[in-house]
């Protein structure tokens, strides 16, 4: 396992991300990872608040148009996240907190799609009650952010190069 | 602008009049509005409080730069500087609360035509407390460089009236945060909750103004603004925790000061969206005016810069 993870860390791309000594490698990937969080989690959190009953006059259907933006956020996060993982594979893959974050992201995405199906696929139906789903989604996103943020503090932590 | 310690010290000497003298003017306007029972004047005074609270951010942060600039002054002066910092932190926290509550008043004016019964008396109370605390901070600060007004014959500083070690003592806060690791980690987590919430609100509102999701009338999105301001408040107080705990790693980094500049601009944008008629009246299906679209684009760009500057603190500039 260690050998495999080390070989990933030693790939040219991983080394560039970690030791590139340019603002465009590690620092920019980290910044784009935050932008991804804003596009995906930020937008989903607000849709969930609306579904929970806040700002109830906002018409729901136009919010469905935010899904492509949220998925763009997901793929941006997946790409930048994978890059950051490759640069620091041994440390991150041994950190239980990393797996907590991955599981929570998977649950969040499933909830997001369930909400899409229930709320945004049937524009002619009256507003369905999806408060349970919305609350679960909200809590999962806050969990994802917490787990992600704490990777810098919990378990094995690599010092920045 | 290099934003070095000398520039920032000049800036502090300029800005420090805003929370003190500005507060006198804002309070006078507010009292006049209450006596005259004029809603327009009330809204103007509330907006004034919000602007002072935003301008207090660089006032506070440039103060630490000024203190670093005077690091070679004698011991009695250092004691005065520390007492001034303690008084300034306490006063700034109450001022930020005043600004946040004043914003709530403006938001309620817009939605309901009048603020809730408790808002105006609370703003008045907090503004008076702010003024008292700011006056105290300013009074202590006078003795830092104006040796001629010191009471002692030899020009030695009077022992400061605020003893070190209290709740708002920056050195004590810094030690506590460094001793208890979880405070920093928890504050970072909350800072990111705030960031995600702010971004969700900012994206939704500004994308609508730019012409996406035209089926949404703007006035319904207005109800989301408090969530964005809640995120702003969370990040203001967690951000102040970072700054007070480790001021040195921020004040010498130009990226940090740019972040504060852009924070004021996006804060002013929240004020614009709250009080101006044009966006408020944007109905479902309609296009926003060119001016509003330009402002919405600038707001999105402004937040992009704030996040960029925040993320780049460890990588750009000369700190950390």
d(CA B295, CA B283): 18
Nearest to B66 by CA among B3, B142, B9, B10: B9
What pLDDT, on a 0 to 100 scale, did the predictor assign at position B208?
96
Neighbours of B13 (CB within 10 A): 14
Nearest to B313 by CA among A123, A99, A31, A65: A31
| pLDDT exceeds 50 at position B319 | no
pLDDT one-digit tens code per residue, B115-162 = 999 999 999 999 999 999 999 999 999 888 887 777 776 777 776 777
Q: CA-based angle B134:B138:B140, to the nearest 5?
A: 120
d(CA B31, CA A11): 68
Q: Chain B contact for A161, CB < 8 A?
A: no
Residue B55 gets which letter from DSSP?
H
Residue A12 gets which letter from DSSP?
H
The residue among A62, A76, A77, A140 with the most chain B CBs within 10 A of its CB, best to mutate, is: A62
Neighbours of A8 (CB within 10 A): 17
User: Is B227 in contact with A46 (Cβ distance < 8 A)?
Assistant: yes
d(CA B280, CA B13): 38
State whether residue B319 is helix, strand or coil: coil
pLDDT one-digit tens code per residue, B180-219 = 989 999 999 999 999 999 999 999 999 999 999 999 999 9
Q: Which residue has the higher pLDDT, A157 or B224?
A: B224
Phi-psi region of B211 (alpha: psi -120 to 50; beta: other; left: phi over 0): left
- Going from the C-alpha of B312 to that of each of A143, B4, B7, B101, B135, the distances in angstroms are 24, 18, 22, 31, 36
What pLDDT, on a 0 to 100 scale, did the predictor assign at position B143?
85
- Chain B residues within 8 A of A37 when measuring between CB atoms: 192, 195-196, 199
User: Is A41 in contact with B315 (Cβ distance < 8 A)?
Assistant: no
A28 Cα to chain B: minimum distance (Å): 8
A73 Cα to chain B: minimum distance (Å): 12
Residue B1 gets which letter from DSSP?
-
| pLDDT exceeds 90 at position A2 | no
Answer positive or negative: Cα dihedral of A8, A11, A17, A18. Answer: positive
d(CA A63, CA A98): 31
User: Is A62 in contact with B203 (Cβ distance < 8 A)?
Assistant: no
B282 — phi, psi (to 5°)? Answer: -65, 110
Mean pLDDT for chain A?
A: 92
d(CA A22, CA A14): 14
- Is this model's pTM higher than 0.90 or not? yes
- Chain B residues within 8 A of A59 when measuring between CB atoms: 215-216, 220, 284
- Chain B residues within 8 A of A55 when measuring between CB atoms: 220-221, 223-224
pLDDT one-digit tens code per residue, B149-189 = 777 767 777 767 777 778 888 888 999 998 898 999 999 99
- pLDDT band per the 50, 70, 90 thresholds, residue B276: confident
Which pair of structure tokens corresponds to residue B234? 């969370």
- pLDDT band per the 50, 70, 90 thresholds, residue A161: very low
- Chain A residues within 8 A of B216 when measuring between CB atoms: 58-59, 62-63
Q: Chain B contact for A45, CB < 8 A?
A: yes
Nearest by CB: B220 against A55, A66, A152: A55
pLDDT one-digit tens code per residue, A93-147 = 999 999 999 999 999 999 999 999 999 987 777 778 899 999 999 999 999 999 9
User: Is A55 in contact with B224 (Cβ distance < 8 A)?
Assistant: yes
H/E stretch holding B292 reads helix B290-312
| pLDDT exceeds 70 at position A157 | no
ipTM of the complex: 0.94
What pLDDT, on a 0 to 100 scale, did the predictor assign at position A129?
86
The residue among B191, B199, B214, B312 with the most chain A CBs within 10 A of its CB, best to mutate, is: B199
| pLDDT exceeds 50 at position A90 | yes
- Can you list the alpha helix ranges (DSSP code H) found in chain A? 2-9, 12-19, 26-37, 43-51, 67-87, 89-93, 96-115, 131-150
B305 Cα to chain A: minimum distance (Å): 11
- pLDDT band per the 50, 70, 90 thresholds, residue A154: confident
d(CA A108, CA A104): 6
Q: Which residue has the higher pLDDT, A161 or B219?
A: B219
Torsion of CA A124, A128, A133, A134, to 10 degrees: 80
B141 Cα to chain A: minimum distance (Å): 39
Neighbours of B104 (CB within 10 A): 19
Mean pLDDT for chain B?
A: 92
Asked if B251 contacts B180 with a C-beta cutoff of 8 angstroms, the reply is: no
| pLDDT exceeds 90 at position B226 | yes
What is the average pLDDT across A50-74?
95
User: Is B200 in contact with A58 (Cβ distance < 8 A)?
Assistant: no
What pLDDT, on a 0 to 100 scale, did the predictor assign at position B198?
97
For residue B194, the chain A residue with the least C-alpha distance is A42
d(CA B40, CA B33): 8
What is the average pLDDT across A46-72?
95
H/E stretch holding B127 reads helix B119-145
Residue A157 gets which letter from DSSP?
-
The residue among A34, A35, A70, A144 with the most chain B CBs within 10 A of its CB, best to mutate, is: A34
Neighbours of A125 (CB within 10 A): 9
Lowest mean pLDDT: which of A17-21, A119-123, B239-243?
A: A119-123
pLDDT one-digit tens code per residue, A29-48 = 999 999 999 999 999 999 99
What is the average pLDDT across B31-56?
97
């Amino acid at each position: 396992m260690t050998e495999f993870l080390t070989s990933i860390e030693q790939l040219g791309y991983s080394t560039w991300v970690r030791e590139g000594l340019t603002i465009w490698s590690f620092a920019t990937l980290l910044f784009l990872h935050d932008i991804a969080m804003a596009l995906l989690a930020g937008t989903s959190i607000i849709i969930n608040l609306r579904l929970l009953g806040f700002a109830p006059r906002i018409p729901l259907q136009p919010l469905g148009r935010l899904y492509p933006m949220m998925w763009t956020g997901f793929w941006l996060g997946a790409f930048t996240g994978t890059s950051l993982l490759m640069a620091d594979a041994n440390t991150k893959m041994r950190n239980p907190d990393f797996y907590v974050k991955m599981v929570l992201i998977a649950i969040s995405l499933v909830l997001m799609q369930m909400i899409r199906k229930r709320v945004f696929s049937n524009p002619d139906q009256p507003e369905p009650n999806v408060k349970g789903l919305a609350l679960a989604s909200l809590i999962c996103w806050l969990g994802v952010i917490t787990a992600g943020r704490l990777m810098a503090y919990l378990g094995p932590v690599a010092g920045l190069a | 602008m290099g934003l070095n310690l000398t520039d920032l010290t000049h800036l502090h000497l300029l800005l420090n009049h805003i929370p003190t003298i500005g507060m006198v003017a804002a309070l006078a306007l507010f009292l006049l509005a209450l006596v005259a029972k004029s809603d327009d004047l009330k809204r103007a005074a509330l907006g004034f409080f919000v602007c002072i609270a935003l301008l207090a951010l660089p006032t506070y942060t440039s103060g630490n730069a000024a203190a670093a600039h005077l690091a070679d002054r004698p011991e009695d002066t250092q004691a005065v500087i520390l007492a001034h910092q303690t008084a300034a932190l306490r006063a700034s926290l109450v001022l930020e609360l005043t600004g946040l509550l004043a914003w709530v008043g403006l938001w309620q004016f817009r939605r309901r035509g009048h603020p809730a019964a408790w808002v105006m008396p609370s703003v008045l109370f907090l503004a008076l407390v702010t003024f008292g605390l700011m006056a105290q901070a300013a009074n202590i600060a006078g003795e830092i460089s104006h040796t001629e007004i010191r009471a002692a014959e030899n020009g030695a500083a009077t022992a400061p009236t605020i003893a070190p070690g209290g709740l708002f003592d920056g050195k004590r806060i810094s030690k506590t945060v460094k001793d208890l690791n979880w405070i920093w980690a928890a504050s970072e987590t909350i800072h990111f909750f705030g960031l995600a919430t702010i971004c969700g609100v900012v994206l939704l509102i500004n994308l609508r103004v730019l012409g996406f999701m035209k089926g949404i009338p703007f006035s319904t999105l207005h109800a989301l603004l408090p969530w964005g301001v809640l995120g702003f408040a969370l990040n203001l107080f967690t951000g102040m925790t970072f700054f007070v705990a480790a001021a040195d790693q921020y004040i010498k980094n130009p990226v940090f000061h740019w972040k504060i500049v852009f924070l004021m601009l996006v804060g002013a944008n929240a004020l614009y969206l709250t009080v101006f008629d044009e966006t408020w009246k944007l109905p479902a299906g309609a296009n926003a005016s060119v001016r509003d679209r330009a402002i919405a684009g600038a707001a999105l760009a402004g937040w992009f810069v704030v996040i960029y500057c925040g993320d780049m603190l460890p990588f750009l500039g000369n700190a950390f």
